[in-house]
Amino acid sequence: MEVPEKSYLLPIILFSISAALIVLALIQKNSNFMDVRTIIKKHLSVFIGSPLQFIVLFVVPLFLAIASVQIKPVNENIINNLNVVLAILISMFFAMLSILSAFPIKLDKKKDEKAKIVSTDKVYDRVLGETFNSIMFECIQSILVLICSCSILFFGYYEKGAFLNIISTILYYLFFVLVLNIFVIIKRMMALFVHLQRTE
């Protein structure tokens, strides 16, 4: 790996230490800061029994990230555009959370019987919880990508080399995972709306 100029060594060390401490705080069990570990674990548990979906959502982004880096590593223009997209996505995710909070926690059993739906409360509750958790996962992803992109923007280090390629790969990978996982949220939101319509 090419070593950056000496003027960048101290900031890189400080950013690395800060990132390590933040990660340790996030993955800690029963953390009062944010139980990110549980959110990630619950989100990944959705793909148990669906290896193809897991590969598409978490392995394919790595291939896309490597290909993107070979075409064009990140630069100031890409970072600025990425930050704008992230701001829009974060607003969208929090809007989705507000929409989900308006959903009924429990469905009326009489309505279920009238619509000839048997034992749908459990399925509805499970999908509602998984959808909420998936959106939380996306919020975490968005914040991580935003931190990475802002850090690169503050550094202003865009000289081609192994260091920039590694940073670009991480940033591209997180972004592609973020975007592809939106399909999971769309599918579950659609299932919730359809289920509510059937029970009206």
Per-residue pLDDT tens over the stretch 151-188: 888 877 777 888 788 889 999 999 999 999 999 999 88
Q: Is residue 16 part of a domain?
A: no
Domain, as residue range, for 125: 44-198
d(CA 187, CA 56): 15
Q: Is residue 59 part of a domain?
A: yes
Instruction: Return the structure tokens found at 36.
Output: 């990110």
Residue 174's closest CA among 195, 151, 192, 155?
A: 151
Q: How many structural domains compose the chain? A: 1
Longest CA pairwise span in the chain (Å): 72
Q: Is residue 107 part of a domain?
A: yes
Q: Is residue 37 part of a domain?
A: no
What's the chain's average pLDDT? 82
What local confidence, expressed as pLDDT, does residue 200 receive?
59
Instruction: Return the structure tokens found at 99.
Output: 């929409």
What local confidence, expressed as pLDDT, does residue 112 receive?
47
Q: Is residue 171 part of a domain?
A: yes
Helix axes 162-180, 76-101, angle to 10 degrees: 30
Residue 156's closest CA among 92, 84, 45, 74?
A: 74
Q: Is residue 135 part of a domain?
A: yes
Amino acid occupying residue 168: S
Helix axes 120-155, 76-101, angle to 10 degrees: 160
Q: Is residue 182 part of a domain?
A: yes
Question: Cα 176 to chain center, whole Å?
Answer: 9
Residues of the chain with pLDDT under 70: 1-8, 30-34, 105-121, 198-200
